[in-house]
Amino acid sequence: MGPASGTKHSTHAGITDYRLHLYLSYDRASPRAISAPPRRRSLLLYFVQGTLLLHIFTEHFFALKRGDGPSMLPTAEVTGQWFLVSKHHSRGRGLHVGDLVIFDLPFHRDDMGMKRVLGLPGDYVLVDAPRTPITATTSDELMIQVPEGHCWLVGDNVPASRDSRLYGPVPLALVRGKIVARYWPWRDRRVFGPALAAAGPEANKKVRFGVSTEVKTPDITGTSRKRDGEPGRRQPVREGEKRRKIQQPGT
């Protein structure tokens, strides 16, 4: 009775000590230490949140795209230039004739192209495939009407551009956005103004992030564009008048 009873009491005391040890250990642990996530978990959470915000911004607001190829010379160089693209105009929303857009190539969806809008649904455009002679004899055969839900895209460097003249009207669903600015290289930064600005009186001005600087156009005719009688007009000199002016000092 004696040894068995001592063993029973010692076992009970051991269980009590173990429970007391667990209670004291739990009590010493602060709630802040238990609820605080590890540093690695916090960094991962911030990374995931930043990635999601960046994806939302580039898909629905603005994106950065690089221009490659000679088809848009001189608006865009062959390589090394980056453009700011407005995603608000994706799928053709708010586009006008003359806008610069990026789009998924109809024959290769993994690649994107950069072209200028020359026709919207309902517009009549001239069909002239590059390096293909025009054999049509009537105006109906030379022009087509852009179908509903499509646009007509052509590169600024016409001889080196593969565009709608080759593969026809492009579905507006393939338009990824409108190019609103060129920001790199920084010395060539430029904000692209209204779509048809080049056809109006502001044709000789280039917009650089809100500051317009006049671009002088070379005068190849020998006369200025001012009207007769205005100061600064350079009249063309005829050959006979030139000879008389040269001979005047000797007379």
For the annotated catalytic residues, the residue numbers are: 71, 115
Q: 81: burial class by Cβ within 10 Å (0-12, 13-18, 19+)? A: buried
Closest residue by Cα to residue 97 from 115, 70, 83: 115
Q: 200: burial class by Cβ within 10 Å (0-12, 13-18, 19+)? A: exposed
Closest residue by Cα to residue 120 from 141, 142, 89: 89
Residue 249 phi/psi, 5° resolution?
A: -60, -25
Q: CB within 8 A of 48, min separation 6: which ones?
A: none
CB 193 within 8 A of CB 207: yes
